[in-house]
Amino acid sequence: MYKKLFFIAVLIINFSCKDIIDEVRINDDTVALLAPSDAAIMSNTDVSFAWNTVAGASEYVIQIATPNFTTPMEIVIDSTVTTSNFSIALLATTDYEWRVKAKNENYQTKFSTRSLAIE
């Protein structure tokens, strides 16, 4: 009798938390990129990237590639951050593509992508 009660208690403890805390489904949401604007041509190599937060997201993946993600020569950064901004020094006279997606424990958005060039 006690073994059955113990087994039931373990099941309740292990599975009830997921039922109580239902993770927000963000997979249909979109990360709105703010800066730099798409196809920006910049003279400063210190670049600050910014995007709107997504309700229910706990972190963001930012990736930067040169010249683009279709035919990348180099993935410059592939980082996970908990803020809605990121800064990095990039090389001059180079084309880049950058993208961001939002994530939580169970869901993620698609990437939002923009390009930029440093002269």
Spans of all domains in the chain: 23-118
**Count of all residues that appear for the chain in the document:** 119
Answer yes or no: is pLDDT of 37 > 70. yes
Answer yes or no: is pLDDT of 2 > 70. no
At residue 109 the predicted structure's pLDDT band, cuts being 50, 70 and 90, is: very high
Answer yes or no: is pLDDT of 8 > 90. no
Residue 4 has what pLDDT? 60
Look-up: residue for tokens 């593509």? 97
- Please report the DSSP string for 50-73 in residue order: EE---TT--EEEEEEEES-SSS-S
Pairing of strands 112-118, 40-42: parallel
Instruction: Indicate the CATH number for domain 23-118.
Output: 2.60.40.10
Q: pLDDT tens digits, residue range 75-103?
A: 999 999 999 999 999 999 999 999 999 99
